[in-house]
Structure 1
């Protein structure tokens, strides 16, 4: 099956397209600065007032901004952080991708296949949406694996083993391969650790950077993946094979930063910077296409759709199949640092 193709001019006028496609470097920089300001502020809060409540709040904020950095890296993969590609790639790599152990160019190669073959059999991200709907019990198990760090650990382990290469390679070749795959990421994280250590809060790196990366970020990455393509009405219709989910202030703070909830608009016009997606949504909502768009009022509504399978169908055979899909998803995530978007 092949998805229907629709041109950008089927949705917006030429003037509207020029407007929403305009890439403004200072806006991209401002979003990156916003993410890091919240991360630094959350760390400072715990350092100033350490207690369980501030720590849990900080983990949730930092994990959401780590997803935010992945989202901004994704914008960089589409060339949307700056009209100048050198500036775009520099911002995406050094301030978004490397801190979360990702890489923009590798992600770009993989991700554009997803846009070309959305929800088709050869979509590389189909493994993330195909298992749904699932049972509430199944989702609960997934949530527990995510929040306890099991999913994140498996992804990072697979990423590390991939970077090291086969065991039968000579040591020098394995080292070279590792440096090619993870060298800049490790260097940036070493600088982050050194800065925190110099500030007298070295413990913030494992507890307030690595731990959110393998816990809360995993929770909301799964929710984001579900919201974007799971249980959509029509895998071949570009207005219905992905979804936009309305997000309130709390959802934008803890689950869906930097306009990632406007996923339908992103797929229709994937060279539009994320900060212009609300404008695209408004224009589409006023067009003849409004009634055909797949929309949900919030993330709770999406999760209800995605967990609508009766618990009585939660059988051992399905658990094994789910585990295989989870391992496949972990390998994809390890190689490309979370598919989707």
Structure 2
């Protein structure tokens, strides 16, 4: 079955469309600067006042901003960071994608298939939403794997092996393949480590960059994936096969940065910069389509929906197998954040 199609002019006027489509280089750059300012501020907090509480707070902040960089890379994949194509790619690659071991152009090729076939049988991200609802016990196991770094480790291991290529290849070919897949990402991370070392906080790279990348970012990436498309009311209705989740200040700080919670609006108008999505939401909320829109009150509400399966139906072996197939279905080198957006 094919999903219903809606045109932008079905719910926005021409004047409104011109306004929400407008891309601003300074706004895109400001969001990137905001993400890095919070990351550096969290590191500075631990350096100034080192204790378990500040460290855990910093891990949560840095992990959320790493997801924020992935979100801004995603905006770059849609050409929304700047109207200048070269500048858009430069901002997306060097300041967003490479630091978190991602790549904008490869991600774009994969991701546009998701937009074209949302929640249909050939949606490459369907594997992320299809298993839901699950049991609370199943989600707890997933949360434990995410927060302890097991999910992140498996993704990075797969990414590294993919970059190295087959063992039978000559060394020169493997080296060239590695550079093509992960060279700029590794170079950017070496530069980040060198900058932190020059500032006298070399330890911040393993403890406040890699640890959040492997732990908290994995936790909130899963939550984001669930919120966007899991247990939606109608896979064939564009107003109901994608979800917007209202987010309070704490959720925006630790779970859903840079307007990623306005996912329904993004799918309807994927060329709109993320900072204009709240305006699109307000327009839609005042339109005749408001009653059809799939909107939840917060991430706790979404998780309740996604874990509504009774615990007595829990079958760990089957669910673990499904999770592994889901991980295998997403090439980590293309979208290290686990798909979606």
Distance 1:335 1:151 in 2: 16
Equivalent position of 1:211 in the other structure: 211
1:128 partnered with 2:123: no
**Native 8 Å contact 1:42 1:58 kept in 2:** yes
Q: Which residue number corresponds to residue 299 of structure 1?
A: 299
Instruction: Look up the SS of the partner of 1:261 in the other structure.
Output: coil
Distance 1:209 1:28 in 2: 23
| 2:331 is the alignment partner of 1:332 | yes
- String of CA shifts for 1:19-53, please: whole Å, max 9, x gaps: 00000100000000000000000000001110000
Partner SS state of residue 34, structure 1: helix
Who is 2:315 aligned against?
315
Contact persistence 1:127–1:328 (CA under 8 A): no
Aligned residues: 340
What per-residue deviation string (whole Å, max 9, x for no partner) do you get for residues 298-330 of structure 1? 00000000000000001245234334334425x
Gaps in structure 2 of 5+ consecutive residues: none
- Alpha-carbon distance change, 5 to 180 in structure 1, aligned in 2, over 3 angstroms: same
Q: Equivalents in 2 of 1:84, 1:67: separation in Å?
A: 24
Per the normalisation by structure 2, the TM-score is 0.98
Q: Shift in Å at residue 336 of structure 1? A: 1.9
Report the 3-state secondary structure (helix = DSSP H, G, I; strand = E; otherwise coil) of the residue aligned with 2:334. helix
What's the CA shift for 1:235? 0.4
Q: Does 1:49 align with 2:63?
A: no
| Whole-angstrom distance in 1 between the partners of 2:325 and 2:87 | 37
In structure 2, how many angstroms separate the alpha carbons of the residues matched to 1:186 and 1:123?
30
- Alignment match, 2:250: 250
Asked if structure 2 preserves the Cα contact closer than 8 Å seen for 1:242 and 1:264, the reply is: yes
Pairwise mapping of residues 131-210 of structure 1 onto structure 2 (< 5 A)?
131-210=131-210
Deviation (angstroms), 1:254: 0.1
Contact preservation (8 Å) 1:67, 1:257: yes
Structure 2 counterpart SS, 1:79: coil
Deviation string, structure 1 residues 41-80 (Cα, Å, up to 9, x no partner)? 0000001110000000000000000000000000000000
- CA distance, structure 2, for counterparts of residue 40 and residue 316 of structure 1: 40
Structure 1 gap ranges (5+): none
Against the structure 1 CA distance between its residues 316 and 89, is the aligned structure 2 distance closer, same or farther, given a 3 Å change threshold? closer
Question: Does structure 1 residue 221 correspond to structure 2 residue 221?
Answer: yes
Runs of 4+ displaced beyond 4 Å:
none
8 Å CA contact 1:43–1:58 kept in 2: the answer is yes
Partner of residue 110, structure 2 = 110
Moved more, 235-244 or 317-326: 317-326
| Contact persistence 2:110–2:334 (CA under 8 A) | no
Q: CA deviation at 1:11?
A: 1.4
TM-score by length of 1: 0.98
Shift of 1:333: 3.5
Query: What is the correspondence of 1:2-17 to structure 2 with a 5 Å cutoff?
Result: 2-17=2-17
Distance (Å, rounded) in 1 between the aligned partners of 2:334 and 2:162: 8
Partner of 2:84: 84
Return the alpha-carbon distance in structure 1 between the equivalents of residues 213 and 306 of structure 2: 24
Q: What are the residue-to-residue correspondences of 1:273-284 with 2, within 5 Å?
A: 273-284=273-284
Question: How far has the Cα of 1:335 moved from its partner?
Answer: 3.4
Check conservation: 1:165, 1:178, Cα contact below 8 A: yes
Cα distance in 1, alignment partners of residues 316 and 287 from structure 2? 47
Label 1:317 to 1:147 Cα distance change in 2 as closer, same or farther (>3 A). Answer: closer
